[in-house]
Amino acid sequence: MNLLIQTLISGALIGAVYALMASGLTLIFGVMRVINLAHGAFAILAAFLTWTLWSQFGIDPIVAIPIVTLVMFGIGWLVYVGSVRYVRGAHVSMSVLVAFGIALVLEGIMGFVWGNTAHVVSAPYQSESIVLGPFYIREDALIAAGVAVLVLLALQLVLHRTWKGRAIRAASVNESGALLVGVSVNQVAAFAFAIGIGTLGAAGAMISVIYPFVPGSHYQWIARLLAIVVLGGLGSLSGAVIGALVIGMGELLATAYIGAQWPIAVPFLVIFIVLLVRPQGIRGTRLREDAVA
């Protein structure tokens, strides 16, 4: 029983970080119907940036979060303007290839710059734990979860309390409608893409402490993130949060009860089962396909 509760606590903490990462993926899909297969690669890029800030300038990952977030926001904007812009609204089989191309380019560049050896940032709180009765709570995971919750709340505020946020939501519900009422969907999409990558930067800074990473780690991350958004329902933000918690706990439960190899397979099994049984996910709605726009 204690093992179960311990696993669920750890799973929920890591799930919060997953939620922050997946929120950008689902936001980007919602606004421009692009499955950003490069999302994992951007996360690893943020982790490498954090590593450089830490190893070159001695900046603690927590302090690095605002810097990395801003830099990733800028990179996201540039990548959108340079490539994704051209396939927004194109058939998904086209946009998904561009996104995959971006992932490959990023993987290659990271390999050139940082090499293909495993990196990890060591912070003072890395191997510390808070003891709560019979349970241990990893400090780094706790801090990461706290950061994730704060950034997610900030994202909610932006989406629901600002004009730009409303424009993003309008564009994701009905693009032509948004265009008609004066929303420049292209600008909004650029902003949404940059926000998605920027918030991912915050999460990437945190995972650099928790997981060792190489450029090729992005496959594992994109698989996990896809499983989360598929489970939650493509395009749904609340679904992404629920999906992230389920996957976070599920992975640790699989490790604890089945075997250390199984977390790798969890995301793929989840994707398979969800898409076959309930294609719209937990929070997605099935739209009328016959209705005309």
- Residue with tokens 């499983």, as numbered in its chain: 227
Q: Which is nearer to another protein, 111 or 134 (CB)?
A: 111
Of 14, 22, 87, 254, the one binding another protein by CB under 8 A: 87
3-class DSSP assignment, residue 131: strand
Residue 223, interface with another protein (CB under 8 A)? Answer: yes
CA distance 178 to 185: 7
| Single-letter code of the amino acid located at 172 | S
Map the footprint of another protein across residues 125-154, applying CB under 8 A. Answer: none
Residue 272, interface with another protein (CB under 8 A)? Answer: yes
Residue 117, interface with another protein (CB under 8 A)? Answer: no
CA distance 88 to 257: 43
Pairing of strands 129-132, 135-138: antiparallel
Residue 287: DSSP 8-state: P
* Nearest to 284, CA basis, from 211, 207, 232, 212: 232
Name the one range near another protein by CB under 8 A: 6-14, 50-58, 125-133, 269-277: 269-277
Residue 66, interface with another protein (CB under 8 A)? Answer: no
Q: Which is nearer to another protein, 165 or 233 (CB)?
A: 233
* Nearest to 189, CA basis, from 169, 204, 203, 162: 169
Of 100, 135, 136, 211, the one binding another protein by CB under 8 A: 100
Contacts with another protein by CB under 8 A lie at 29, 33, 35, 83, 86-87, 90, 92-94, 96-98, 100-109, 111-112, 116, 215, 219, 223, 226-227, 230, 234, 261, 264-265, 267-269, 271-272, 275-276, 279, 285, 288-290, 292
